[in-house]
Chain A
Amino acid sequence: MSAGIALFSGNHLHLSEVDFMEKELRISEHPVLDFSPGDKVQFWFEGEPVTGYLGEPVAAALHAAGIRVLRYSRRLHRPRGFYCAIGNCSECLVEIDGEPNVRSCITPLAEGMRIRRQAGEGRAIADS
């Protein structure tokens, strides 16, 4: 997963997000829990390749890769990430395979997904 740093060492990643990745975010061992992730898959975020695990929420895969800004707010264009992680609050809306307003916190990751940050009400940044 350290690949996440290398992949995003360019202008995508702000300094704070590099700090944030100072250590692996994936938990490899836990005193109470056993994690059994799905297969490793590649997907695309803002055109860059990222890896995650099949079936985990898109927001979790992005977070583990050091990506926390999921969209920009409608009027003030402020960065937003997830808040509730269980599909209640709609802070984590992204565009997936051309469809805007997808709740990334409860959408299972699939191979080859093309994910973009959402701007405002759902127009993808790349198109603006």
Chain B
Amino acid sequence: MSSLIEIEHMNKFYGQFQALSDINMTVEQGEVVVILGPSGSGKSTLIRCINLLEAYQEGEIRVADQRVENGPNLASIRCEVGMVFQNFNLYPHLTVLANVALAPVRVRGMSRRSANDRARALLEKVGMAAHADKYPSQLSGGQQQRVAIARTMAMEPRVILFDEPTSALDPEMVGEVLDVMQNLARSGVTMIVVTHEMGFARKVADRVIFMESGRIIEQNKPQEFFTAPQEPRTQAFLQAILHH
């Protein structure tokens, strides 16, 4: 039985600069993995490689046993790998409801009616049902991000990648988004989350991965990771973060 996501000896370069070095990791069905690390450590780049928004040059990434690469299978892989972005990236010319219902109609071939029904149900789940007919620009950042999560879930992906989902939010809105993510995690959705929210990592993660300079330095259960980090660099990072 292979894992949902398998990354083996993956290297990524920007020209001469090596952004990711020898990445090896697996993610199981239902697992919540949080990736921590200082800015520029390659966390976002790593998860953007999983759905090939960024190309990788060496090694291999597999999602449900399919190699992630340019070609005829890429679209179907991307259907299984949802992504929530730092800047929401909602479609500004469409209503909230249309944002959520678009891809299921176009990609999954769902009827507009059942896509709308499901979109409403998902908006209900993220507490945005009352705003279904508004446009993204009429919403706060936290509300937009909750819509973006509903939009991602509408494709029923097997895993959702979160790329710093609360970093562009005003502090008072971080909580509402983290609550939605925590509910998702509880309901068994597989998640890979790049974040700076230590509380979320501690409470929700099944496993924490620490990255620095494009490498995975350490990974462990959150309990062990936060209380007994093994690597000196992890210790230094946690020291700097937690003593504020």
Q: Do A and B come from one complex?
A: no
Residues of A within 8 A of B (CB): none
